[in-house]
Amino acid sequence: MSTSLTEKFRPKLHLTAKYGWINDPNGLIKVDGIYHVFYQHDPNSIHHGPMHWGHSSSRDLVNWEQHEVALFPDGNGTCFSGCAVETDDGKIKLIYTSHRLDEAGKDFQQQCLVHADRALSKFEKEPSNPIIKNSGLGCFRDPKVFWHAEGGRWIMALAHGETIGQSIGFHSSEDLINWTFESEFGNEDGRHGSGPWECPDLLPMVAPDGSKHWVLVAGIGDEAYAPGSGTMYFIGKFDGKTFTNSNPRETELWLDYGRDYYAAQSFFGAHKDAPLALAWSNNWKYSQQTPAEEFSGLMSLPRHLRLVETPDGLRLSSLVPESVSSAFSTIDLSSGQAQPASGTYRLEETISLAPGSQVTLSLFGADRPQFTFVRDKNGRTRIRQVRDAYGDMNEFAHDYDIDAGNLGAFTLEVFVDNGLVELNLDKLIWTTNVYYPDTPAGAVTLTEI
Ligand code: FRU
């Protein structure tokens, strides 16, 4: 039986839809021991179209069960990104953005509520939707809601802006239905490329010294660190109304430096000490042109986020849960070369680079390495990463450097799943990129130069 092009690249240990298009993860929540992942979905097309919420669930984050489509477009519009929450009395609610075009053909976005059962098998839209009407914002989407215990209120973070929207708005509520606008953050902070800020998340976190911080995660739609979409974060304070950046305004922190890690969201109510985040492994620059027949789009591995102290200050580190990591077979690269048994494997190597030296990593039997780790004369480590053109995707090829800081010896960890590569140095510097290799199980070579 011949394998279709997309089936060849379907990952084994990552979430994909059986059919149709997916983008952002939505409504991530753990209820009664089950992780639920909803996602932006067009069940009828392999391209972004009228958005529905698709739905999958898993007990172990490795084996995913596909469910019926959860949310369908209605008179308010299609169902853009959003979140899920559990109330004190055990009720599950979904909150999403309804999207339609106004008479002038412009985006018109409002926030809507859905009542669900604990099995997440029945979904009833709130009759008074939209719960937050649009007050004239061109960008008003992607609500992420959490319970702010200190203030005793629900807080919603969402993408805000008069036109394309390059800031995050905060609203508060006591009942999830009546909302009050509190503040806006970001107009002058972080990266402002040509794209919108999207899909925020706001997380209370504790640093190794016990100090408390708030981490605000935001998708940068275009001109992120890597060409196209990327995921930035800020470390600061949140008093229930306002987020204040603890770093200088121009500081840019990236959850992942690769091309294919976007719209990251955390699971509600799970792993409070180390929130578990999931992202869409794609990039708006070429997502409509990736090779796709049965399905289009895939999710990253879930990663636990933790604050760690580094020579540059507090940073987020990301760690794949042990149960997921151990589902990959680890190849032995001690001789510098390995032949994986399949296209799904993991590798871990300690690399110690003398100043002025470099190591290359080549995957899929490629002659030209995709990654070169260089330690410059000043002791800073850089990752040069290259990807060749593929098919009709004009903006898919890349060749750029990541500044990984002053690392000395580091642990290189790489998860490979039929073309999707998630690579990290010391769990701190991550780069996620999708490849479409001739031979997904081709040889792996680590070469010192
Ligand atoms: C981010 C995004 C969101 C929006 C959704 C639409 O990738 O553009 O802002 O809600 O995708 O599918």
How many whole angstroms from 151 Cα to the centroid of ligand 1?
29
Q: What percent of the chain has pLDDT over 70?
A: 100
Q: Which of 13, 11, 41 is nearest to 25 (CA)?
A: 41
What is the predicted pLDDT for the residue at 1? 47
59: which 2 tokens?
């007990």
Residue 163 binned pLDDT confidence (cut-offs 50, 70, 90): confident
Point out the residues that are catalytic. Answer: 24
Closest atom of ligand 1 to 97 CA is: 10
Q: Is ligand 1 within 6 A of the CB of residue 168?
A: no
- Distance of alpha carbon 260 from alpha carbon 282, whole angstroms: 4
Residue scoring higher pLDDT (128 or 377):
128
Sheet holding 344-352, edge to edge: 329-330, 344-352, 409-417, 420-425, 429-434
Question: DSSP per residue over 269-307, as a string?
Answer: TS-TTS-EEEEE---TTTGGGS--SSEE-BB---EEEEE
Rounded mean pLDDT of 168-177? 98
DSSP 210-258: S-EEEEEEEEE-SS-SSSS-EEEEEEEEE-SS-EEESS-TT--EEEE-S
Take residue 220 and report the two structure tokens written for it. 């940068």
Mean pLDDT confidence for 274-300 = 96
Tell me the mean pLDDT in the region 93-108: 95
Average pLDDT (60-89) is 98
Q: Average pLDDT of 396-417?
A: 95
Q: Residue 2 — pLDDT band, cuts 50, 70, 90?
A: low
Residue 70's pLDDT is 98
Angstrom distance (rounded) from CA 204 to CA 155: 12
Can you list the pairs that 418-422 forms with residues at least 24 positions away whose Cβ atoms lie under 8 Å?
Answer: 418/8, 418/9, 418/10, 418/11, 418/12, 418/343, 418/344, 419/9, 419/11, 419/343, 419/364, 420/11, 420/14, 420/260, 420/281, 420/298, 420/300, 421/363, 421/370, 422/258, 422/300, 422/301, 422/320
Provide mean pLDDT across the span 126-136: 96
Classify residue 74 by its DSSP letter: B
First to last CA, the chain: 43
Give 164 or 53, the one with higher predicted confidence.
53
Mutation choice for ligand 1 from 141, 232, 298, CB with most ligand atoms inside 8 A: 141
* Nearest CA owner, ligand 1 atom 6: 80
pLDDT tens digit sequence for 135-155? 999 999 999 999 999 999 999
* pLDDT higher than threshold 80 for residue 34: yes
Residue nearest (by alpha carbon) to ligand 1 atom 8: 198
Ligand 1 within 6 A of CB of 31: no
Average pLDDT value for residue range 408-420: 96
Which pLDDT score, from 0 to 100, does residue 6 have?
81
Q: Which domains does the chain have, with CATH numbers?
A: 16-319 (2.115.10.20), 328-448 (2.60.120.560)
Q: Quick check: 97 pLDDT over 80?
A: yes
